[in-house]
Amino acid sequence: MLNGDKQKRALGRGLSALIPQAAPPAPAGASVVPPEPPPPPKGAVLKLPIEAIHRDTLQPRRHFDEEKLRELTESIKAQGVLMPVLVRKDGAGFKLIAGERRWRASQLAGLHEIPAIIRDVTEVEAFELALVENLQRSDLNPMEEAEGYHRLVEEFGLTQDQVAQRVGKERPTVANALRLLGLPDDVKGMVATGQLSAGHARALLGVPRLPEMTELASQVAARKLSVRDTEKLVQQAKGQKPKETASAPPKKQSPQVKALVEELQRALGTKVRLVEKGSGKGTLEVDYFSYDDLDRILKVFRKE
């Protein structure tokens, strides 16, 4: 009986029970908001307007070879952009993560769109991606590389160990790169433009006074000396004494001081110099050859 009642009610509703009804039309004059398109799949290659993409000030690369940029422009005119750039959302537009040379060349080629992949990343992740991409392609000069590591340490609070892990380098490599930031600006410029290599620059860091370092750097660049010859030049410069004291004989160390120096060298595992200045005063110099070596020496002092 109950089943019969249900069938009667269904029949009573007629076709409306079987055919879904369309939504009622919007009142006249009412604005219709179109539904938002679904987000693109992760990793999808999209065509983005070039003018909507902006250079990120965090981009580690600052120097671009003009001749290579012209060559890439001609290639893009002939074949288009074969590899998409990497971007992240920035308000209504996008910021570049990787592919600035392709983006620049595409503009020079007169393109209005460029293939791109949108990544949802933080500022520090974007900088790491840009740095790693440039390092893998050997696009950074030694100074740009050093400045990139420095920004990760200073601006994003990473340790040298963390920087090394993030960019896939050994910690001494990161430490040695950071040492280049201690060069005078003129010498940094020579390294950035390729007049001096990172090896030349590290050798020049052995010069204690910056004006002398700049002078030697100019000599090395002008004479196109090898790194080994640069190291010899630096050693000669460090061995020179002021003219007024050049003839003064070196002060002979007492047996007690010699024994103390030998004991320190055994304990620290490195070269030690002790210079007496009289009245129980003096200077103690301890050599180290990397930040890891310095950490090891400090642990000896701290008895860790």
Closest CA to 233 of 250, 249, 218: 218
Contact 191, 143 (CB under 8 A): yes
Helix, coil or strand: residue 98: strand
Contact 170, 292 (CB under 8 A): no
The Cα–Cα gap between 119 and 134 comes to: 17
How much is the CA Rg of the chain, to the nearest whole Å? 33
C-alpha separations of 275 from 246, 250, 269 in Å? 17, 10, 19
The Cα–Cα gap between 300 and 220 comes to: 38
C-alpha separations of 193 from 187, 189, 190, 258 in Å? 10, 6, 5, 47
Number of H helices, E strands in the chain: 13, 7
The Cα–Cα gap between 75 and 106 comes to: 10
The Cα–Cα gap between 187 and 143 comes to: 10
The set of catalytic residues is: 100
CA 140 to chain centroid, in Å, comes to 8
The Cα–Cα gap between 130 and 96 comes to: 9
